[in-house]
Amino acid sequence: MGTGKSSVGRLLSKRLGRPFFDTDEMIEKETGLAIADIFAKAGEPAFRDMETKTIKLVSLLDNAVISTGGGVPLREENMRELERNGVVFCLNAKPENILERLKEEIETRPLLKTKDPFLAIQERLLARRKAYSRCRHAIETDGLTAEQVAETILNLMPKAA
């Protein structure tokens, strides 16, 4: 959520010459609905089920760069699938920086459409902390450009693989 996963993923894909898959974009394309509309019409559990189905598909691919939604690590089966064929990186940012990055998108972010989006971000990060800790590498993106984050990942990849 607002840490640069999609932007960094696209850069890595180009730098590595590998295909790029964004699971949120895949779900939107498959359903013909925006993520916010899926949440509104079917609810978060239905969206998470779609996410898991998508993770199972993309995890079968070799040498792909995959960007997932921030809720993916919450399901053990998602992480198992992603780890089976790759290395999982977690991009982190401070809540105030996430809010700043997403301020123009709050209306399209169902988990932030609250009276206090900052509090929602803090609560979400706290609730996800344990799941995120499972990722092989965590990178703090505060103050970094997408290019700098991609370079950090590239430097870690030989050690991570």
At 17, phi and psi to the nearest 5? 70, 35
Tens of pLDDT, residues 8-25: 999 999 999 999 999 999
Share above pLDDT 70 across residues of the chain, in percent, rounded to a whole number:
98
Give the CA-trace dihedral at 66, 158, 12, 123, to 10 degrees: 60
CB 124 within 8 A of CB 1: yes
Residue 157: pLDDT band (50, 70, 90) is confident
Q: What is the pLDDT of residue 12?
A: 97
Q: What is the pLDDT of residue 158?
A: 64
The candidate with the shortest Cα–Cα distance to 72, out of 97, 91, 100, 94, is 91
Structure tokens at 72: 């993916």
Tens of pLDDT, residues 79-134: 999 999 899 999 999 999 999 999 888 888 888 889 999 999 999 999 999 999 99
**Structural domains in the chain, sorted by start:** 5-147 (3.40.50.300)
Distance CA 96, CA 22 (A): 24
